[in-house]
């Protein structure tokens, strides 16, 4: 990763930080069904190269999803998925995954 990408990702995380607190957990849970194939219902990666999302901070998750959507971060699957997410979708998903306890079945 080059310095410009790192700086851009930091700006994205900073700018989206306050918005992540406005997410709706129940709405995020509904929207997360599309994420379950790779991150299962509990937010645990289904393959070694898929990250665990359950229990991650909403600020971090919102920043990463925004970076994928805006092209500051690239992954074949996530870039496609994130392009369809609105700001509210990102906030809701981030709030939902933050609400989960790491490594625990869906609450």
The structural domains of the chain, with segments of one domain joined by +, span 3-99
Q: In angstroms, what is the C-alpha Rg of the chain? A: 13
Q: Are 86 and 17 in contact (CB under 8 A)?
A: no
pLDDT at 15: 54
Closest alpha carbon to 50 in 29, 33, 71, 36? 36
Residues of the chain with pLDDT under 70: 1-21, 103-107
Closest alpha carbon to 56 in 42, 70, 71? 42
Burial status of residue 94 (CB atoms within 10 A of its CB: 0-12, 13-18, 19 or more): buried
Distance CA 6, CA 18 (A): 20
pLDDT at 76: 94
| Token reading at 73 | 């971060």
| Token reading at 105 | 């079945």
The correct answer on CATH 3.40.309.10 for the domain covering 3-99 is no
């Amino acid at each position: 990763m080059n310095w410009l990408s790192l700086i851009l990702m930091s700006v994205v995380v900073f700018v989206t930080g306050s918005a992540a607190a406005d997410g709706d957990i129940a709405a995020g849970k509904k929207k997360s069904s599309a994420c379950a194939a790779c991150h299962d219902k509990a937010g645990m990666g289904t393959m070694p190269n898929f990250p665990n999302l359950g229990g991650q901070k909403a600020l971090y998750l919102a920043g990463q999803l925004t970076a994928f959507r805006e092209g500051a971060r690239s992954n074949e699957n996530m870039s496609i998925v994130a392009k369809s997410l609105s700001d509210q979708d990102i906030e809701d998903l981030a709030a939902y995954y933050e609400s989960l306890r790491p490594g625990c079945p869906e609450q």
